[in-house]
Amino acid sequence: MDQIAPTHATQDARLARLAEVAVRVGLNLREGQEVVMTASIDALPLVRLITDAAYRAGASLVTTLFSDDQQALSRYRLAKPEAFDHAPAWLFDGMAAAFRAGAARLAIVGDDPSLLAGQDPGLIARANRARAKAYRPALELITASAINWSLVPYASPAWARAMFPELSEAQAVAKLWDAIFAATRVDAADPVAAWATHNAALMARRQKLNDRRYSALRFTGPGTDLVVGLADNHSWMGGQSTALNGVTGNPNIPTEEVFTTPHASRTQGHVTATKPLSYGGTLIRDIRVTFEGGKITEAKASTGQEVLERMIGTDEGARRLGEVALVPASSPISKSGLLFLNTLFDENAASHIALGQAYTKCFVDGDTLTDADFVARGGNKSLIHVDWMIGSAEVNVDGIGADGSAEPVMRAGEWVA
């Protein structure tokens, strides 16, 4: 077990440690690299600490692009409907150019999960689609692991209030920060060393799965009987990964998953989400879908139905899987007992699937694949990549061999071996 740092460490000290984890573990920033960072204006204190840590690590330039929830809401209150078909392609083209020139990408996340509750789902869908199309040049470089990139959290007041509505804002923010520091291993005596130990464990787990070479995974549990066919020559990933620029970092801080690529045409059955999905400022609850031939043929939700339908209608690939991930029910984030209403955390509390774009890095020799090879092996292409949770302590997972034989991988949400 990781040794815990002294409990008297101040908030500022722990925030500075998170900044060091972001730069040294998440990005593993190289001397002379630029950093392109995105963040809410709420996250300015962490932005400044990460900027300091990046320059200490040798960054040549740190550029931050800020967003503001109230500015986002102004668009829905005041803009004309046709405005929602526009996105700043010039900005995303610039980000893609920076990545091609060697910049690292860091995103600080902590959005209000219900920011757009009550807004027109049609306008939300139009805005999401326009942004996804404009962002694609940059996103393709990220999904292909062309660069070192990472996501790290910030406890914004809106996120904290959504998680702990019974507390005052100050109490809610403090409680969320405690949960973030624990999940990101910032409270370990040596966070960087703690991450090295954790990454080694994830590496061992993904190696076991790669050695088994399953052709499919079967998930069974309440409301779920789903067979996820795996892509040809797939490769399991998890924890650290090495980008094509040769830098090894952690794309997600925190992370507890091992994951790979499903075959776009080989998922069958039905599945029920075990946690809500926060998507585009809307909470979608109780998702239930049916797959046939790899494609969603029916999708239901108790809330957010229209947003769900519009999401899977983004393009042809939005109804198919681009990722399947395994996470034990005893993961630290799951054991916290908290529903974070944030995919970065909730996907690391439960096994999950993702609709949309698949990762090139989840193929053997993925860095050499042409687009035609990627599709031929079963890789899915889409404007979106949306994770949602299907695992719990009530869900079992079996590995299916090429000969149709089955063996237990997880029972009651835990690894069998």
Side-chain-side CA neighbours of 99 within 13 Å: the count stands at 26
Q: Specify if 1 maps to a domain.
A: no
Closest-CA residue to 225 (of 263, 180, 267): 267
Q: Specify if 116 maps to a domain.
A: yes
Contacts 24+ apart (CB under 8 A), 94-99: 95/36, 95/138, 96/137, 96/138, 96/141, 98/34, 98/36, 98/63, 99/36, 99/138, 99/141, 99/142, 99/146, 99/147
Residue 233 CB partners (closer than 8 Å, separation 6+) = 363, 364, 365, 377
Separation CA 23–CA 30 (nearest Å): 10
CATH number assigned to the domain comprising residue 107: 3.40.1830.10
Say what the pTM is.
Answer: 0.86
Q: Specify if 3 maps to a domain.
A: no
Q: Specify if 2 maps to a domain.
A: no
One-letter identity of residue 259:
F
Per-residue pLDDT of the chain (417 residues; tens, 9 = 90+): 344 444 457 999 999 999 999 999 999 999 999 999 999 999 999 999 999 999 999 999 999 999 999 999 999 999 999 999 999 999 999 999 999 999 999 999 998 988 998 899 899 989 999 999 999 999 989 988 899 999 999 999 999 999 999 999 999 999 999 999 999 999 999 999 999 999 999 999 999 999 999 999 999 999 999 999 999 999 999 999 999 999 999 999 999 999 999 999 999 999 999 999 988 778 899 999 999 999 999 999 999 999 999 999 999 999 999 999 999 999 999 999 998 999 899 989 999 999 999 998 899 988 788 999 999 999 999 989 999 999 999 999 999 999 999 999 999 999 998
Separation CA 62–CA 323 (nearest Å): 31
Compute the Cα dihedral for 148, 130, 347, 207 and give only its sign: negative
- Same domain for 300 and 170? no
Q: Specify if 5 maps to a domain.
A: no
Domain boundary among 149, 183, 217: 183
Q: Specify if 124 maps to a domain.
A: yes
Q: Specify if 80 maps to a domain.
A: yes
Separation CA 180–CA 267 (nearest Å): 34
The SS3 assignment for 412 reads coil
- Same domain for 213 and 93? no
Separation CA 184–CA 252 (nearest Å): 10
Beta bridge partners of 292: 295
Domain boundary among 183, 202, 231: 183
Separation CA 112–CA 67 (nearest Å): 12
Quickly list DSSP for 121-176: HHHHHHHHHHHHHHHHHHHHHHHTT-S-EEEEE---HHHHHHH-TTS-HHHHHHHH
Summarised one tens digit per residue, pLDDT across range 182-237 is 999 999 999 999 999 999 999 999 999 999 999 999 999 999 999 999 999 999 99
Domain count, the chain: 2
- Same domain for 200 and 177? no
- Same domain for 150 and 112? yes
- Same domain for 357 and 215? yes
Domain around 39: 11-183
Q: What count of other Cβ atoms lies within 10 Å of the Cβ of residue 48?
A: 13
- Same domain for 255 and 140? no
- Same domain for 234 and 85? no
Taking the CA atoms of residue 140, residue 257, residue 305 and residue 117 in that order, the dihedral angle to the nearest 10 degrees is -80
- Same domain for 350 and 372? yes
Domain boundary among 183, 208, 226: 183
- Same domain for 104 and 211? no
- Same domain for 143 and 205? no
Q: Specify if 36 maps to a domain.
A: yes
- Same domain for 176 and 199? no
Judged on CB neighbours under 10 Å (0-12, 13-18, 19+), 90 is exposed
- Same domain for 169 and 201? no
